[in-house]
Structure 1
Amino acid sequence: MAARQRAATTLPSLIRALRKESPKPPSRNLPSLRRAFSLYDQINLIDQVPDDRLCFQSVTDTGFLVNGVNYEGSLLCVGNLLLSWSPKKFSEITADSLSIFQILKPTPEILIIGSGKHIQPVDPELRRFIKSTGLKMESVDSRNAASTYNILNEEGRVVAAALLPYGVSS
């Protein structure tokens, strides 16, 4: 019983002593989280492109720089296969221009359409055709399309991109 009384009287005084003696952490400025966790730092793969992966390094008004090689005109990419593609403007993207996806196996998870400088609405008939091939579709401007393709391809996902040069406005 005496030990219990002693603990009851010394415990509060011990807690007060610890609170008084606890050192305050030194005040120092932390690095900016914006800079520490920049999305650019995480997806900048340009200098470390594996030989077996396509990576868009830049998008120009007339073409693309892919793995250090300049390509003029529109491109169709499936996984790590790069093809010249005939459409010169968004209205020329049709079921015929995307007919390769009817026979392509394995079917990519997603088709990213790069519509040039501005996002364009996709014709409902073209949407139905793309859906009938088992693809999901995303239509964005060509710079964002190339960047999205890079990220998904780097993750090892089967992805396709149909890209018009950035200078295309309609």
Structure 2
Amino acid sequence: MTDLIIQNAHLATHKTLVNILITDQHIARIEEIADDNANSQDSQSNPAAASYDAQGNFVCGGFYDSHIHLDKACILDRCTIEQENLEEAVEETGKAKEAFTEADVYARASRVIEIARKKGTVGLRTFVETDQKTELRSFESIKRARDTYAFAIDIEICAFAQSGLTRACP
């Protein structure tokens, strides 16, 4: 049984508008439709299926961001930028990390996730620093954000010791 029908969709691979039939979260069938008939046979015989009218708009798969740092997102206002080089960026970020709280990291990460969702991102891989400055605060915050938004976006967390482990050990 079809769960969702996306009607009147424009796909790059088809010359006419199509209806996309979704079953169990997968595309079950794509039906080309005549210009004068926007309803598929399945939508007429399956009134229980939810439907969405794409109104001739382009439909494509979602985006996947493979490299983002949600723990350090939206901190530019906390950094002094003068030299505009990597060394300065690392130093300024290190200073800002000292003030990170779980609530702060969660709020900033959530803001970026909301923006990503609205732009069509369906998955992202975030790198999260675990070091002496942040301990596990950032990691715990990002796990919480991942769980909060699990209904809408897949978030893969890569925890790493960006600084600290190799420098802190004698």
TM-score for the superposition, normalised by structure 1: 0.29
Highest RCO, 1 vs 2 (Cα 8 Å, sep ≥ 6): 1
Higher strand proportion (structure 1 or 2): 2
TM-score for the superposition, normalised by structure 2: 0.29
